[in-house]
Amino acid sequence: MIQPPNILTIAGSDSGGGAGIQADLKTILALGGYGMSVITALTAQNGLGVTGIHAPEPEFAVRQLRAVLDGFPVAAAKTGMLFSAEIIAALAEELSRCAFPLVVDPVSVSQSGSRLLREDAVAVMVERLVPLAALLTPNRPEAEMLAGMKVDTEADVAEAGRRMLDMGARAVLIKGGHFDSAITITDWLCLPGEAPLPLRQAHVDSPNNHGTGCTLSAAIATELGKGLPLLAAVRHGQAFVNRAMRGSYTPGKGCGPLNHAAGLTRTE
């Protein structure tokens, strides 16, 4: 039997199961990895929104990470919701000594509009975590937050990407889900010294898009952990999200999740 790669997600828990740690572990399993987790926050959450957040002490987040690193050879990791400056700083100190590729999803606001990253944590993320990123995966509002500018045009994408690369990220994927398009969605892969590469995929007309960013970053991390080069890992991640969105459903009230088992389960 081929040993699956060990993939680590460092993120918040979504009690509704559609995003965060839950979405990440489903994605990792569906793509053939073995998922492990460091939980940085508990959220009281469903498809209607977030009603509460409880974060552990930074030292306990570090204890979780050390337990994983001591017990498993990690092939790749991703970060999602990190919530506070103290948690980011503590985890970044540990991650700075790790050699595996790290995908940083700079989660700041939930799909329903709840803030998942404290305002005073942004500077620490830029200073301590972004330089560790093999890939940084901001959506449009997150790119604007990190780059300190509006992102409306292709030229804006190039400039925002350059600014985030200058922060130390080795690559940046600016996700296109927040740009208006009825036909295609374009994610932009920004690499040092190169023009942004447009990666287009068919638009999926579905209200069930809870956890798309979490799922994409977890999928890319899993593919990197399997040894794929960056561009191939991003394209595979895009395809996984697109398939999961086409198979999405509404298990409860509000915005539904992706179907992480799309293509894996029998429908008859």
Question: Which H/E stretch holds residue 59?
Answer: helix 58-71
Nearest to 65 by CA among 100, 28, 99, 91: 91
Per-residue confidence (pLDDT) for residue 207, from 0 to 100:
85
Pairing of strands 34-46, 6-14: parallel
* Residues contacting 130, CB < 8 A, separation 6+: 104, 106, 136, 146, 164, 167, 168, 169
Please say whether the beta carbons of 35 and 63 come within 8 A: no
pLDDT averages per 10-residue partition of the chain, 268 residues: 93 96 98 98 93 96 98 98 96 98 92 80 96 97 95 94 98 85 83 96 87 96 98 97 91 91 68
Instruction: Give residue for tokens 């969105």.
Output: 245
Query: What residue has token string 């509006």?
Result: 150
Residue 110 is predicted with a pLDDT of 73
pLDDT score, position 14: 96
pTM of the model: 0.95
Closest CA to 162 of 148, 152, 175, 176: 148
Cβ 120 vs Cβ 82: under 8 Å: no
Residue 114: CB atoms within 10 A of its CB come to 14
- The pLDDT value recorded for residue 86 is 97
Q: What is the DSSP letter of 192?
A: T
SS3 151: coil
